[in-house]
């Protein structure tokens, strides 16, 4: 069993053994990014592997849209 846990204002995703997941995570058809600490990124631009991404307030990756005048593609990558 896997589940989301909120600690204060920060969300974490625990795997079946109870360990925090990190990196990219797909849940419910949406993508999320969990920092090395396990904390879910939300409401921000961030860089991974030389590419820029945006996650909304719920932490979901923005795809095929424009955010603040910047376009992101189907993979959520900022299109320069």
For the chain, which residues make up each domain, given as ranges?
A: 3-72
Inter-residue contact 33 to 23 (CB < 8 Å): yes
Model-level pTM? 0.93
Quick: pLDDT tens for 14-56.
Answer: 999 999 999 999 999 999 999 999 999 999 999 999 999 999 9
Does domain 3-72 bear CATH number 3.40.50.300? no
Strands (E), 28-75: 30-34, 44-48, 51-55, 65-67, 70-72
């Amino acid at each position: 069993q896997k589940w989301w846990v909120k600690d204060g204002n920060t969300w974490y995703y625990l795997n079946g053994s109870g360990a925090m997941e990190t990196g990219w995570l797909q849940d419910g058809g949406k993508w999320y990014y969990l920092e090395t600490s396990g904390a879910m990124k939300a409401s921000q631009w961030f860089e991974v592997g030389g590419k820029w991404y945006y996650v909304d307030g719920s932490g979901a990756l923005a795809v095929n849209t424009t955010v603040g005048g910047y376009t992101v593609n189907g993979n959520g990558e900022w299109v320069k």
